[in-house]
């Protein structure tokens, strides 16, 4: 499949060049009897359905495929063919950091458009030109909160991604900044604990919504508790979920961050990914990384520039907001193309279908004797299961069946016992859910 981006005006221009008034004229030399034969074509399919059917045919050549229900920060979502085709253009994939930025107007405009889209998605006023990944974006956002408040303590939810929290600890330990962990209560961050931990010495409270367990956090009450303590509120988001959930700007978040991988970036053996940070306009001078702005040149024409240069490549290290040396420009461009192509309606459909599939999968699995969900709370597209058998032997048997059933959570992560974090997206097929339930039943019972 390919994407041919000819506009109606371009088509009319091409037809005029060959002396034709309409496209049908190009086929006059073909006899009418051969032009419209009765062919029993199947009903039309969407692009996603066609791609799924072609993949199914291709799988016949390689045997049974591995069916994955893994999540935990890396997700398989539908990517429109237009994104793949446009992103593979040579002028995009060969571009590198524009050290002489004003000579790369196309690159700067794409960054500017990306920033605009991230502001609209999150409900914030300013966004940067992307970060290395979601984990480093959390760490950079925490350092930003400390600079803004002149305090040296950060509170982070125990329900946030553990990999993100490890990176955060690496950054903040080196800077001598204290980290306090807010416990979760039944899978959701505890507002009472937040109010107790986020005292007057706390620079920022950082949460994840939906959190690592897939639970949708009660952000209104958590935001109120953070504000009551005088701390900045930072939220790590799953971008696809914002097609359905309230944007962070609506519950008065100060800093929003996340990973762009779900937005048009495939699962490529763990990378490359890209992170982002968005914030309120008043905090822009402490925003780490690059920031593209739009202006006019001496002739009054629109131009794009890198502005408010606060990286240590541009100013003295003591005044720099970050030592990040570049941004993941190609991945950020993929995210921008994805959002432009999907639009608000398409993003909402992807989010809704992910939620429906995850809830349908939970119902099927919990029908197996001995299984239960640990956190019976509203969730997006991930949930935590407790099995009546040890997890490791189950994972080994599932692997033999070409099934990746989820991520093992060691005792103490989600509860006293070990558990399984299971994920579904809009690409999860009904047949694969049924196969998962059948394999689970065979192993467990």
pLDDT of residue 35: 77
* Digit-coded pLDDT (tens) for 168-223: 999 999 999 999 999 999 999 999 999 999 989 999 999 999 999 999 999 999 99
Residue 316 CA to residue 318 CA, distance in Å, equals 6
Write down the mean pLDDT value for the chain.
91
pTM as predicted: 0.86
Which carries the bigger pLDDT value, residue 265 or residue 412? 265
CB-CB contact of 371 with 394 (8 Å): no
Is a pLDDT exceeding 80 seen at residue 418? yes
pLDDT of residue 316: 64
- Best CA proximity match to 331, nearest among 257, 398, 276, 389: 276
The fraction of the chain above a pLDDT of 70, given in percent, is 94
- Cα-flanking dihedrals φ and ψ of residue 377, to 5°? -125, 165
CB-CB contact of 73 with 237 (8 Å): no
Residue 12 CA to residue 22 CA, distance in Å, equals 8
pLDDT of residue 306: 86
| Structure token pair of residue 46 | 């969407």
- Best CA proximity match to 244, nearest among 142, 93, 358, 345: 345
Residue 27 CA to residue 439 CA, distance in Å, equals 54
pLDDT of residue 1: 42
The domains located in the chain, with CATH, are 50-79+343-444 (3.90.1150.10), 82-339 (3.40.640.10)
pLDDT of residue 269: 83
* Digit-coded pLDDT (tens) for 315-332: 666 677 787 777 888 999
Is a pLDDT exceeding 60 seen at residue 62? no
**Residues in CB range of 428: below 8 A, 6 or more apart:** 69, 354, 357, 358, 361
* Other beta carbons less than 10 A from residue 344's beta carbon: 11
User: Average pLDDT for residues 259-284, to the nearest whole number?
Assistant: 94
pLDDT of residue 100: 60
| Structure token pair of residue 440 | 């689970």
- CA distances to 27, 57, 300, 301, 305 from 297, in Å: 49, 54, 5, 5, 10
């Amino acid at each position: 499949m390919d994407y041919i981006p000819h506009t109606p005006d371009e088509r009319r221009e091409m037809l005029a060049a060959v002396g034709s008034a309409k496209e049908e004229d190009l086929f006059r030399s073909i006899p009418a009897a051969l032009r419209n034969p009765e062919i029993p074509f199947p009903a039309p399919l969407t692009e996603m359905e066609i791609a799924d059917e072609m993949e199914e045919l291709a799988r016949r050549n390689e045997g049974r495929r591995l069916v994955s229900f893994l999540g935990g920060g890396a997700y398989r979502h539908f990517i429109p063919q237009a994104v793949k085709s446009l992103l593979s253009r040579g002028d995009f994939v060969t571009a590198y950091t524009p050290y002489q930025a004003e000579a790369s107007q196309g690159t700067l405009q794409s960054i500017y458009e990306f920033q605009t889209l991230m502001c609209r998605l999150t409900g914030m006023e300013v966004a940067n030109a992307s970060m290395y990944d979601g984990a480093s974006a959390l760490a950079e956002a925490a350092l930003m909160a400390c600079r803004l408040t002149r305090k040296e303590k950060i509170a982070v939810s125990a329900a946030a991604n553990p990999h993100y929290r490890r990176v955060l600890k690496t950054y903040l330990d080196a800077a001598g900044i204290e980290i306090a962990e807010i416990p979760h209560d039944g899978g959701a961050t505890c507002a009472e604990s937040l109010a107790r931990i986020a005292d007057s010495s706390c620079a920022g409270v950082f949460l994840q919504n939906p959190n690592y367990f897939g639970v949708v956090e009660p952000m209104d009450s958590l935001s109120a508790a953070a504000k009551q303590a005088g701390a900045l509120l930072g939220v790590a988001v799953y971008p696809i979920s914002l097609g359905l959930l309230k944007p962070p700007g609506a519950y008065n978040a100060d800093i929003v961050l996340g990973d762009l991988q779900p937005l048009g970036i495939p699962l490529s053996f763990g990378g490359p990914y890209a992170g982002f940070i968005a914030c309120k306009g008043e905090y822009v001078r402490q925003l780490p990384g690059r920031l593209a702005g739009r202006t006019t040149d001496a002739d009054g024409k629109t131009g794009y520039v890198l502005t408010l240069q606060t990286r240590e490549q541009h100013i003295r290290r003591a005044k720099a907001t970050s030592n990040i040396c570049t941004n993941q420009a190609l991945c950020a461009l993929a995210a921008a193309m994805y959002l432009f192509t999907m639009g608000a309606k398409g993003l909402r459909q992807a989010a809704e279908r992910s939620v429906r599939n995850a809830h349908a999968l939970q119902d099927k699995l919990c029908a197996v004797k001995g299984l239960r969900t640990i956190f019976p709370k509203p969730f997006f597209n991930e949930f935590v299961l407790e099995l009546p058998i040890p997890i490791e032997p189950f994972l080994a048997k599932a692997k033999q069946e070409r099934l990746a059933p989820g991520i093992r959570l060691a005792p103490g992560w989600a509860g006293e016992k070990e558990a399984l974090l299971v994920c579904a997206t809009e690409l999860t097929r009904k047949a694969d859910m049924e196969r998962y339930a059948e394999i689970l039943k065979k192993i467990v019972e």
